[in-house]
Amino acid sequence: MKHFFAAHGKTLALSSVVLVLVLLLGYVALQAGPLAPVPVTVETVQVKALQPALFGIGTVEARVTHKIGPTVAGRVKRVDVQTGDAVKAGQVLGEMDPVDLDDKIAAQDASIKRAQAGVMAVEAQTQELTARKTFAEVQAKRYATLLVSQSVSEEGASIKRQELTIATANLAAAGANLDASR
């Protein structure tokens, strides 16, 4: 029986807290919430002239903004307008100074001359290797003739044939380099 009254007491306490909260919510809704009475001000009608007035605090934003930029690389030489200035179509806003354009042209000219000098060097190398191949051919034929008459050894003739093969390979590589450099 004691247990019954203890459980009944807790329910009674909880119910009373909920009832107080509901009553408090109802009071707030009737006094300050959506159910509160609306204050009414009564005024008599008068005839007066209306005067327009404008007052406010805020930020004015442009209707249209445009991003502008240079079409070539350069440095800003001068700026003719400031932030917030009104501008008209066709108005010059500033001037760009080309960045070392003469230096870039000179560097390109030097690069072309270096490439031409490289081609000439490869041509000279090709001519030298052609001469070495011709000399190696002559030596290989001479040693082949001397081998027949037993004046040189087989090893000496083989060395001259190998020198001719190396000279031919070097000339082919130089020809490929010449084609690539042109």
Q: How many other C-beta atoms lie within 10 A of the C-beta of residue 117?
A: 10
Record the pTM: 0.41
In a domain, 85, yes or no: no
Q: How far apart are the first and last CA of the chain?
A: 114
Q: 123 near 174, Cβ under 8 Å? A: no
Residue 21 reports pLDDT greater than 90: yes
Q: What is the pLDDT of residues 66-106, one digit of tens each?
A: 787 777 777 788 889 988 888 888 898 888 877 777 777 88
pLDDT of residue 23: 93
Question: Is residue 89, in this structure, part of any structural domain at all?
Answer: no
The percent of residues above 70 in pLDDT, for the chain, comes to 95
pLDDT surpassing 80 at residue 2? no
Alpha helices in 32-153 (DSSP H): 101-148
Structure confidence at residue 20 as a pLDDT band (50, 70, 90): very high
Contact status, residue 99 vs residue 123, Cβ threshold 8 Å? no
Q: Is residue 82 part of a domain?
A: no
At 116-134, the pLDDT tens digits run: 888 888 888 888 889 889 9
Q: How many domains does the chain have?
A: 2
Which structural domain range is residue 130 located in?
Answer: 102-181
The answer to whether residue 84 sits within a structural domain is no
Q: Are 76 and 97 in contact (CB under 8 A)?
A: yes
Kindly state whether residue 78 falls inside one of the protein's structural domains. no
Among candidates 120, 142, 135, which has minimal Cα distance to 166?
135
Q: What pLDDT, on a 0 to 100 scale, did the predictor assign at position 4?
A: 52
Question: What's the pLDDT score for residue 5?
Answer: 54
Q: What pLDDT does 58 receive?
A: 79
What would the DSSP string read from start to end of 42-56? Answer: ---------------
Query: Looking at the domain assignment, is residue 128 inside a domain?
Result: yes
Cβ atoms of 146 and 161 within 8 Å: the answer is: no
54 located within any domain: no
Per-residue model confidence (pLDDT) at position 106: 82
% of the chain beyond a pLDDT of 90: 12
Which amino acid, one-letter code, is at 146? Answer: L
Instruction: Examine residue 121 and state whether it is found in any structural domain, yes or no.
Output: yes
